[in-house]
Amino acid sequence: MLEKLNERVLLTDVEKREYQRVLDRVENICQKAEDLGVAILIDAEESWMQIAIDDIVDQMMAKHNKENVVVYNTYQLYRHDKLVQLKNDHRTALENGYMLGAKFVRGAYMDKERERAIQMGYPSPIHVDKSAVDLDYNEAIKYCVENYETIGSICASHNIQSNLYQAKLIEDLGINKTHPHLNFCQLYGMSDYITFNLSDAGFNVAKYVPYGPIKEVVPYLIRRAKENSSVTGEMGRELEYIHKEKKRRGI
Ligand SMILES: Cc1cc2nc3c(=O)[nH]c(=O)nc-3n(C[C@H](O)[C@H](O)[C@H](O)COP(=O)(O)OP(=O)(O)OC[C@H]3O[C@@H](n4cnc5c(N)ncnc54)[C@H](O)[C@@H]3O)c2cc1C
């Protein structure tokens, strides 16, 4: 259904009712979050369903982000159109009297996106190389930190340079590092050395905990391990730190 909505294909009556149920459920979750004073972070998925997700999140932000930033959308900076969209979404939010919630990631479906683009003969939505992604990622951090009064942001990354960049920027600009609009986040079980050090230094940092029925969570984790080529990179990084530390301690 999300793919159909993405393509702006008309829904059948049954699908329209199903979509309304989706909207109602998302609205209930966002309202509950607002009542409890917590945030809702909505993940980004493959490009062929992302417009449909953005439509839903935009509606929720317009409704729930008036006083505080409750709802966050996710921007995948491996896509070459996302930095522009981030800035446009900020402008739209300001024009319509609400605040933007922006979690930024590099993106988890690079291989899948590129393969589909080749198979179906359209230009890949993914940047040509990693350095172009890193440039946009840094720019997203800078834009959000500089506009922190009207954007709630979350640097969701295991890249130590990205996390350091945001931390340093906050300190250099002399902004209160515990401001609720300035956040960091890593996945549970990964990059604790980043999370714990950020926490020690007094920044807002969280762990993303995948949870749910085993039959859904295990395939999710396996998909992540397969799809996300950076998982092996991250494991390599952590292993290297462990080896370094063992050597330092002489064990
Ligand atoms: C808390 C949290 C929440 C997340 N939520 C989402 C989500 O909602 N949606 C989602 O898609 N992902 C999500 N991710 C995963 C994220 O998109 C990245 O895949 C993962 O974090 C690795 O990127 P990095 O910044 O941590 O590390 P890095 O090692 O700096 O970056 C690796 C990433 O760079 C990009 N990259 C690598 N090589 C190339 C290349 N040759 N050309 C172009 N790009 C390249 C890829 O995106 C790759 O995953 C989340 C990650 C975290 C930590």
96, 48, 94, 93: which is closest to 73 by C-alpha? 93
Residue 104 Cα to ligand 1 middle (Å): 9
Distances (CA, A) of 169 to 13, 86, 105, 184: 50, 19, 18, 13
User: With contact defined as beta carbons under 8 Å apart, do 70 and 98 qualify?
Assistant: no
Which of 67-71, 144-148, 209-213, 222-226 is least confident?
Answer: 222-226
User: With contact defined as beta carbons under 8 Å apart, do 74 and 187 qualify?
Assistant: no
What is the rounded distance in angstroms from the CA atom of residue 6 to the CA atom of residue 54?
10
Closest atom, ligand 1, to C-alpha of 127: 43
Grade residue 242 by pLDDT with cuts at 50, 70 and 90: confident
76 lines ligand 1 (CB under 6 A): yes
73 lines ligand 1 (CB under 6 A): no
187 lines ligand 1 (CB under 6 A): yes
Query: Is residue 196's pLDDT more than 80?
Result: yes
159 lines ligand 1 (CB under 6 A): yes
Residue 219 Cα to ligand 1 middle (Å): 19
194, 190, 196, 193: which is closest to 233 by C-alpha? 190
Residue 240: the pLDDT is 85
The CA-to-CA distance between both ends of the chain, in Å, stands at 55
Distances (CA, A) of 198 to 14, 19, 41, 68, 240: 48, 40, 20, 23, 20
Closest atom, ligand 1, to C-alpha of 161: 30
Residue 59 Cα to ligand 1 middle (Å): 26
Residue 92 Cα to ligand 1 middle (Å): 26
With the most atoms of ligand 1 within 8 angstroms of its CB, the residue from 106, 127, 133, 240 to mutate is 106
Share of the chain above pLDDT 90, in %: 83
Contacts 24+ apart (CB under 8 A), 24-30: 26/56, 26/60, 27/60, 27/63, 30/60, 30/63, 30/64, 30/70, 30/71
Residue 106 Cα to ligand 1 middle (Å): 4
183 lines ligand 1 (CB under 6 A): no
pTM: 0.94
Residue 152 Cα to ligand 1 middle (Å): 20
Residue 17 Cα to ligand 1 middle (Å): 34
Q: E strands within the chain?
A: 40-41, 71-76, 100-105, 151-156, 182-187, 204-208
pLDDT 10s digits, 15-69: 999 999 999 999 999 999 999 999 999 999 999 999 999 999 999 999 999 999 9
Grade residue 188 by pLDDT with cuts at 50, 70 and 90: confident
